[in-house]
Structure 1
Amino acid sequence: MVGTISNRMKTAVSFKHHKSNTMKRISELMICGITLLLCHTVMGQQEQVPKTAFTKMYLPVWLAARSHCLEVAQAMPEEMYGYQPTGESKTFGEQIVHIGYTIELLTRRYVQGQEVKPNTPDASKMSKKEIIALLEQGFDYTENVVRTIEQETLDETCKMYHSGNTVSRAFALFYVQDHLTNHRAKANLYLRMNGIEPPAYTW
């Protein structure tokens, strides 16, 4: 009788241990699977080649613009993000927020043909880290569009809000870049006005 109970207890303990090891193994496999899936997704996004001759040409230009703009944003100390040369001017932080926010806004509106309305974040309530994250988000968004957009969409036309000119969606990508270059130049000047050497411009 005692032996039978003892054997049953050993069997129960062994089963519990086996079940615990099985669950642990399943958890490990699930974590490995999720990790591999994420790595594959990220690598796929990084390596995705644009689908058209135009966007293949445009992508290096966009990546260079991203690098230059982020360097300017990083160069200004956080305590100077509220600097503005005149009462009518944007602060440095507002310039960078404006760039980051409108990159995505203009891409959605003119390149993708979406109905969007401006709702610019308040730079005065954001840290330097948050502003730079917004800037990176804008560049990431448009980079993804450049990598995935089809020629059929690029050939469509859109009407520019300020000038009223009708242009192709491919041409609108030049406007997105020109707009950010305009505000990056202003931010670059803010650095000089505070005795900070701007990042070297290379191409």
Structure 2
Amino acid sequence: MKVINVLTMLCLLLSFVSAAQAQTTTDELVKEWERARAYTKEYLDTMPESGYGLKPTPDMRSFADQMLHLTDGNYGMGAAATGVKSPYGMGELEKSTTDKSKANVTKVVLAGYDFVIDGIKKMTPAQLAEPIKLFGRFDMTRGMALAKVFEHQTHHRGQTTVYLRLAGVKPPQEKLF
């Protein structure tokens, strides 16, 4: 009987250790967001000033607007995920930013990444597992909400690869690691 109890306890212990190792830590999230920030900065630096107003078609966002939209997501979804209040309303940057120069857009976009990174640094591992209702309707953990905002910024940065090519410049080399 004691052998069964010991084996049961050992199995439970191993399953908890495995689950803990499978979870992403806040340090790992910070590292990934810092990598994404650096990669996006390469996109911002690569696009010539004249390309910030470039629209592949009239009904598409400009390069600057894509980057501002990406940043709106970083602030809006990042705030929901981290619990840190955003200094901007949802969609505010894309709609209200009038200075769409390379210097200003770069400053605004990088500040959006810093907002998310600083928010993650303040989180505990337990907070990553806390349930939230993203936008008042999607049930998920704070960690999953961070994954969603990471996917959003990756998607919009990826879209701007076409903008760079249309501007006649080579996009930055992929940064998976």
- Aligned partners of 2:77 and 2:149 also within 8 Å: yes
Map residues 41-56 of structure 1 onto 2, 5 A cutoff. Answer: 54-56=25-27
- Aligned partners of 1:94 and 1:123 also within 8 Å: no
By percentage of residues, which structure has more helix? 1
Per-residue deviation, residues 31-60 of structure 1 (Å, max 9, x unmatched): xxxxxxxxxxxxxxxxxxxxx962122222
What is residue 172 of structure 2 aligned with on the other side? Answer: 199
Q: 2:56 aligns with which of 85, 98, 109?
A: 85
Give SS of 1:83's match: coil
| Distance change >3 Å, CA 149–CA 129, structure 1 → 2 | same
Residue 192 of structure 1 deviates from its aligned partner by: 1.1
Aligned mates of 1:132, 1:83 — CA distance in 2: 16
Q: How many correspondences in the alignment?
A: 151
Structure 1 stretches (4+) deviating beyond 4 angstroms? 113-116
Give SS of 2:25's match: helix
What runs of 5+ residues in structure 2 fail to find an aligned partner? Answer: 1-22
RMSD of equivalent CA atoms: 2.3
Q: Which has the higher contact order (CA 8 A, sep 6+)?
A: 2
Q: 1:187 aligns with which of 140, 160, 168?
A: 160
Map residues 66-81 of structure 1 onto 2, 5 A cutoff. Answer: 66-81=37-52
Per-residue deviation, residues 46-77 of structure 1 (Å, max 9, x unmatched): xxxxxx96212222211111111110011111
- Aligned partners of 2:132 and 2:141 also within 8 Å: yes
What is residue 78 of structure 2 aligned with on the other side? Answer: 107
| Distance change >3 Å, CA 190–CA 53, structure 1 → 2 | closer
Larger Rg: 1
What is residue 131 of structure 2 aligned with on the other side? Answer: 157
What is residue 120 of structure 1 aligned with on the other side? Answer: 93
TM-score (norm. length: structure 2): 0.76
- Aligned partners of 1:93 and 1:123 also within 8 Å: no
Give SS of 1:159's match: strand
What is residue 3 of structure 2 aligned with on the other side? Answer: none
Per-residue deviation, residues 90-123 of structure 1 (Å, max 9, x unmatched): 1001011112232122111233175873222434
| Distance change >3 Å, CA 183–CA 120, structure 1 → 2 | same
What runs of 5+ residues in structure 1 fail to find an aligned partner? Answer: 1-51
What is residue 135 of structure 1 aligned with on the other side? Answer: 109
Deviates more, 1:192-201 or 1:148-157: 148-157
